[in-house]
């Protein structure tokens, strides 16, 4: 009997002991597989983070990519990332870990990163064909196995709980949360999702510095738009809607 309580997410799970990147494998097979297929690797040789950064993927973590095929316009892609952040945060909280989301998609515990999400897409003429939702969670990662610069800003579930977590049951609960959130995403107003995201996040109300390819914006984070953009109010009371960028808290 399966331990999964889902029908769509995880309907097919491909498990590998090692891959370059689960996002790459997911992208290759996406056209041939059904929505909800999950690719998991025990370790990744070239795990990727946002903004071209490396993602250290030692054993003990949960490195997975989920293939979704939502019929949404490309401009709504950021919504999917917010949905994934909610699911991961709920799954961690259900294990007793005090997780918060930092816009757009980092999950932090006491200010340290425990999970990163990398959303990639294949789209033609503004319409999404499939979405690759790459999720990396430091479940039983030994912080001593990370390089100094990454370790300084990272934590893991086992580090927070003082003991390793059963990864299989955590995966089952993560896939369950992803399915609940994805169903809601498809059937409900996005405003409902924004409300929950804001509840689980510690970004709104904070002073932030957000770096985008075009500029650096400093101000107070005051909300999330319909498209999943962060709204920042700068010192001159000018509102900026930032769809993608690197966010730091400045207080």
Which residues bind to ligand BTN, rule: CB under 6 A?
A: 21-23, 44, 47-50, 53, 55, 57, 63-65, 106, 116-118, 134-136
Rg of the chain over all Cα atoms, to the nearest angstrom: 17
Q: What SS3 state is found at 56?
A: coil
In the complex with ligand BTN, which residue's Cβ is closer, 119 or 173? 119
Instruction: At 26, give phi and psi (nearest 5°).
Output: -60, -40
Strand partners, 14: 39
Residue linked to tokens 């003082």: 162
In the complex with ligand BTN, which residue's Cβ is closer, 50 or 79? 50
Tell me the residue nearest to ligand BTN as measured from the CB. 116
Residue linked to tokens 């893991």: 156
Any alpha helices (H) in the chain, and if so which ranges? 22-29, 77-94, 148-152, 157-161, 167-187, 190-200
- Rounded to a whole number of angstroms, the minimum distance from the CB of residue 99 to ligand BTN is 14
Return all residues near 222 (Cβ < 8 A) that are at least 6 apart: 204, 205, 231, 232, 233, 239
In the complex with ligand BTN, which residue's Cβ is closer, 134 or 219? 134
Closest CA to 112 of 228, 224, 202, 220: 202
In the complex with ligand BTN, which residue's Cβ is closer, 53 or 127? 53
In the complex with ligand BTN, which residue's Cβ is closer, 211 or 220? 211
- Rounded to a whole number of angstroms, the minimum distance from the CB of residue 217 to ligand BTN is 20
In the complex with ligand BTN, which residue's Cβ is closer, 63 or 190? 63
Instruction: At 127, give phi and psi (nearest 5°).
Output: -115, 135
In the complex with ligand BTN, which residue's Cβ is closer, 39 or 165? 39
Closest CA to 103 of 249, 251, 247, 250: 247
- Rounded to a whole number of angstroms, the minimum distance from the CB of residue 188 to ligand BTN is 26
Phi-psi domain of 84 (left: phi exceeds 0; alpha: psi -120 through 50; beta: other): alpha
The rounded distance, in Å, linking the Cα atoms of 200 and 84 is 12
- Rounded to a whole number of angstroms, the minimum distance from the CB of residue 125 to ligand BTN is 27
Residue linked to tokens 């999943």: 228
- Rounded to a whole number of angstroms, the minimum distance from the CB of residue 81 to ligand BTN is 10
- Rounded to a whole number of angstroms, the minimum distance from the CB of residue 11 to ligand BTN is 19
- Rounded to a whole number of angstroms, the minimum distance from the CB of residue 153 to ligand BTN is 11
């Amino acid at each position: 009997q399966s331990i999964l309580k889902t029908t769509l997410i995880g309907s097919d799970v491909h498990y590998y002991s090692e891959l370059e990147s689960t996002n790459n494998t997911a992208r290759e097979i996406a056209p041939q597989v059904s929505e909800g297929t999950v690719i998991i690797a025990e370790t990744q040789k070239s795990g990727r983070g946002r903004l071209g950064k490396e993602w250290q993927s030692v054993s003990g973590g949960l490195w997975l990519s989920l293939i979704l095929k939502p019929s949404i316009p490309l401009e709504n892609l950021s919504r999917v990332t917010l949905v994934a952040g909610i699911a991961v945060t709920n799954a961690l909280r259900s294990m007793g870990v005090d997780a918060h989301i930092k816009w757009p998609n980092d999950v932090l515990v006491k200010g340290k990163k425990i999970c990163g999400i990398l959303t990639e897409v294949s789209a033609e003429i503004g319409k999404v064909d499939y979405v690759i939702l790459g999720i990396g969670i430091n479940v039983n990662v030994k912080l001593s196995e990370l390089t100094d610069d990454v370790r300084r800003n990272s934590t893991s579930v086992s580090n927070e709980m003082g003991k390793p977590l059963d990864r299989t049951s955590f995966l089952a609960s993560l896939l369950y949360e992803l399915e609940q959130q994805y169903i809601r995403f498809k059937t409900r107003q996005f405003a409902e999702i924004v409300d929950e995201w804001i509840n689980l996040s510690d970004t709104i109300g904070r002073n932030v510095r957000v770096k985008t390819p075009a500029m650096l914006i400093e101000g107070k984070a005051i909300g999330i738009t319909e498209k999943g953009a962060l709204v920042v109010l700068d010192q001159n009371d000018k509102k900026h809607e930032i769809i993608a960028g690197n966010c730091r808290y400045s207080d």
